[in-house]
Structure 1
């Protein structure tokens, strides 16, 4: 049976209209978003790695979107306070979270009760950087390598102390991993943020700590000794610094992936648009310089790749926390 030319033309016009209608509706979120300022909640104090990365992203994203990105620091409870605020915000893309991966991957194992479920209530948007844990010691310690440090710690059991950004922080977990893998004893001294911990390390109030990067300038000035990085591979910013694995602690991995998250239920079109624009910002010379300056390595991933990385980190950190018996409440 043949279709008349007029009927065929009508059919084509109907199909075209339908396709155009779908095209107008499906990307509507992406076309109109953002139409107002975006609030970026940083779940850690000013001056730390999360804050530096968050403000760097906010500047670049604001320029790309031609909108104001308001950065708000809401620290506390190892990132839970800021993350909770975002988890309970409207899923419209106008409230985002900048946080360390530990808030999402480690906190469910550290806290018996949480006011939100990171896995269900937050959606991964974009990975921003791998923050490396640098093992630094005060110059008063008579050691110049990881092997010498371990030997000294074993010869002085319980006499050393180490600082961290707080109980359950990635720097605390790195310290506990070191104690386990090196079979040494040391007293943990938690601080309210990495900056005050670093200040006390510089003053000799604690003997060593894992630093997320701000201490590198002090190591270069001779005020601290940089012994190793607690990552599976060397940091691009410190290519001559060995990893703890290379120094004898096989498999040591205390890396933390920092990233941007949105409330669960945020439209996929908005998530995809944010991911694409944040990845563009991260490739800019300004972002590379700012993030490398704190000793971190930029990491751009797709939404799926970021979610997969989170699942892997959750399994790895969860196993360690449960084995070590670390609990915050």
Structure 2
């Protein structure tokens, strides 16, 4: 007498047979389409590697407050300061590439840090997905008002007259402010002491107090600090004058070449993001960044709000990385790995 298989055994045998047939089939298996983006109930995070209260934080929050009107989901900013943006970058890289975790970062994160900081373990081209440019704005050479200088050439003359006694600040070894300071000293033949800090706030505080004498600072901070009368803005480190600082000449106008790299900030996500999600986010950011109120807010801090396509940001990342690489190698600041 034959035994009738139990239903559970039959189902297992049937599923096994189906799996075998699919594996041997010459036709591709059609998988379920991913869920649409954005999904109601999800929250988008914009991670920032700086403390709350700075210019970049204000920009990120301004955009985050307006993205929900475009995407239809909540958007928050999470501050993850420390280690020259490395902690924030690594958090984004580890995040699921589903579009709900982005990073708003200055160009130094992708163009300078990987070439100057030994603790950087990420590859800006393999581990991140470019989404959109966010803003452009120059660094500004500032000097403490106790120095009898009002131009770059006067600062050069003063430092030459006091070799080894004048110091300049940076918001970290290997950061843009350090590289600008080193390039300036090399170009002008100056013997000045580099004093690195853990961030821009610490550096600016000592410059305001006169403990260090000059500093390449972010434009919003330079404007704010110069309003106190304790520091003077001597030059912008950019190829041309900023329309928001028309009375401040460039370094090149004052005889110092090679210190004119533009600075910018961009939005990135983790590697492996679906193209449709990238395009949706890029379009949403473009809509917010093009709004007159966004442009007006960014201009208050001497930045120009500017969006881009993902491809354009990828090309800008590569060109900026290569350009800084040449300067870093020339100055001997490249990390030996």
For Structure 1 versus Structure 2, the TM-score category normalised by the shorter chain is 0.7 to 0.9
**Contact 1:168-1:328 at 8 Å conserved across structures:** no
Between the aligned partners of 1:198 and 1:178, the Cα distance in structure 2 is 19
Q: How does 1:162-173 map to 2 (within 5 A)?
A: 162-173=168-179
Distance 1:210 1:155 in 2: 21
Task: Tell me by how many angstroms 1:40 deviates.
Answer: 1.0
The equivalent residue for 1:134 is 140
Give the corresponding residue for 2:246: 239
- C-alpha contact (below 8 Å) 1:162/1:187 kept by paired residues: yes
Measure the CA separation in 1 of the matches of 2:262 and 2:40.
33
Q: Which aligned pairs between 1:1-40 and structure 2 lie closer than 5 A?
A: 29-30=36-37, 32-33=38-39, 35-40=41-46
| Range with greater deviation from structure 2 (92-101 or 176-185) | 176-185
Aligned to 1:185: 191
Cα 1:69–1:181, aligned 2, differ >3 Å: closer, same or farther?
Answer: same
What are the superposed Cα offsets for residues 116-170 of structure 1, whole Å, 9 maximum, x if unpaired?
2221010111111113101110110011111111111111112111112222222
Maintained 8 Å contact 1:44/1:99: no
The reply on whether 1:277 has 2:284 as its aligned counterpart is yes
Show the counterpart of 2:24.
Answer: none
Compute the displacement of 1:91 (Å): 0.4
The offset of 1:87, in angstroms, is: 0.8
Q: Structure 1 residues 34, 100: closer, same or farther in 2, change over 3 A?
A: farther
Q: CA RMSD in A?
A: 2.1
Q: TM-score, normalised by structure 2?
A: 0.84
Determine if the alignment matches structure 1 residue 62 to structure 2 residue 68: yes
Whole-Å Cα distance in 1 between the matches of residues 124 and 169 of structure 2?
27
1:205 corresponds to 2:211: yes
Q: For 1:227-259, what per-residue CA distance to the aligned partner results, in whole angstroms no more than 9, with x for missing partners?
A: 110001111210111100111113422322211
**Residue 272 (structure 1) shift:** 1.2
Post-superposition offset of 1:62? 2.6
Equivalent residue for 1:17?
none
In structure 2, the residue corresponding to 1:214 is in which secondary structure? helix
Distance of 1:35 and 1:317 partners within structure 2:
42
TM-score by length of 1: 0.86
Q: Which blocks of at least 5 consecutive residues in structure 1 are unaligned? A: 1-24
Which string of whole-angstrom CA distances, capped at 9 and with x for unpartnered residues, describes residues 38-67 of structure 1? 111101222333322221221121332232
Offset of 1:76 from its aligned partner? Answer: 2.1
Aligned to 1:151: 157
Q: Distance in 2 between matches of 1:85 and 1:289?
A: 31
Unaligned 5+ segments in structure 2 are 1-31
Moved more, 34-43 or 129-138: 34-43
1:77 is aligned to 2:92: no
